[in-house]
Amino acid sequence: MSSKSTEDEIIGLEREALRRWCSGDPSGFLEICAPEVVYFDPSLERRLDGLEALTNYYEPIRGKIMAKRFDLLNPLVQVVGAAAVLTFNFVSYDASETEYRWNCTEVYRQTAGGWRIIQTHWSPTKPTFA
């Protein structure tokens, strides 16, 4: 169901988008999202639907999110035809070495222009509930 080159390509796309994200640039993700992308993160009341909604959500934080370094832990790509499901744990460190840990699921779809994200889900790893 999978091939090494597809796995490498998907992980490479994600890693490059994350590199830009950690430099304050959300366009790395926006450029590889399909128009129908849907999106979850813990600060949202409901799922965001569509690239326009995600763009409107990301633009105000352009230049504001920085990480000194990050890592994708244990990335896995499950390929089902023209769909690829990437899951990984993400860890990043800010300038004061504070660690942030996340769970992430990305679903990519193969298009004429390359692989595009149709679903993103970010959530905190073991958050402390108040």
**Contact criterion met (CB below 8 Å) for 112 and 40:** no
Exactly one of 49, 59, 68, 98 binds a copy of itself (CB under 8 A); that residue is 49
H or E element: which one contains 118?
Answer: strand 114-124
d(CA 63, CA 67): 11
Alpha carbon 112 to its chain centroid, in Å, reads 21
CB of 72 to a copy of itself, least distance (A): 12
- Single-letter code of the amino acid located at 23: S
Does position 15 interact with a copy of itself (CB under 8 A)? The reply is: no
Does position 73 interact with a copy of itself (CB under 8 A)? The reply is: yes
CB of 41 to a copy of itself, least distance (A): 8
Would you say the C-alpha torsion 122, 18, 9, 55 has a positive or negative sign? positive
Give the footprint of a copy of itself on residues 81-110 (CB under 8 A): 81-83, 85, 87-89, 103, 105, 107, 109
Q: Contact positions toward a copy of itself, by CB under 8 A?
A: 36, 38, 40, 42-47, 49, 73-74, 76, 78, 80-83, 85, 87-89, 103, 105, 107, 109, 118-119, 121, 123-130
